[in-house]
Amino acid sequence: MAELRAHHVGITVSDLENAVEFYQETLDLTLLDRFTVSGENFSTAVGVDGATGQFAHLEADGVRVELIEYEPEGASRGEASINRPGTAHLGLTVEDIDSFYESLPNSVESVSRPQTTDTGSRILFVRDPEGNLIELLEK
């Protein structure tokens, strides 16, 4: 069997500009690249007739985060809930979770204030502008 290696974490969004701004300004990720992919082979590969994807790749401490805006856009899946099968989230670490929380713009929705779990981990879940969950863990 072939050896697999991680390449990226992909998140589909409806407004790429807004999402890139959030991931850069709020989460301080570095924009690596922006590009568009379309054509028959792409449409076939993603299983969407006439698909075009606008992509942005960002760097998160060795993890590539891929934001994708598709045309045509698919049906909304509703608000992500961490306990719904199929729900994904992006996990990032911060040095001081309380300072990070206090520095969040008022427009950023958090699920709660930072919490300490029974294992001693300090965590915080926030939502990006699309409602996708992002978990922050204190190092």
pLDDT in tens, 30-62: 999 999 999 989 888 888 888 899 999 999 999
pLDDT in tens, 77-90: 566 666 676 678 89
pLDDT in tens, 123-139: 998 999 998 889 899 98
Per-residue pLDDT for 20 more than 90? Answer: yes
CATH number of 89-138: 3.10.180.10
* Predicted local confidence at residue 46, as pLDDT: 80
* Predicted local confidence at residue 36, as pLDDT: 94
CA distance readout (Å), 34 to 65, 78, 82, 139 = 12, 27, 29, 30
Per-residue pLDDT for 92 more than 80? Answer: yes
What value does the CA radius of gyration of the chain take, rounded to a whole number of Å? 16
List the beta bridge partners of residue 34.
56
> Residue ranges per domain, the chain?
9-71, 89-138
* Predicted local confidence at residue 2, as pLDDT: 62
| CATH 3.40.50.720 assigned to 9-71 | no
* Predicted local confidence at residue 22, as pLDDT: 97
Domains 9-71 and 89-138 share a fold: yes
Cα 125 to Cα 112: distance, rounded to the nearest angstrom:
7
CA distance readout (Å), 36 to 19, 30, 40, 45, 55 = 16, 19, 14, 15, 6
Q: Is-contact 100 42, C-beta < 8 A?
A: no
* Predicted local confidence at residue 128, as pLDDT: 94
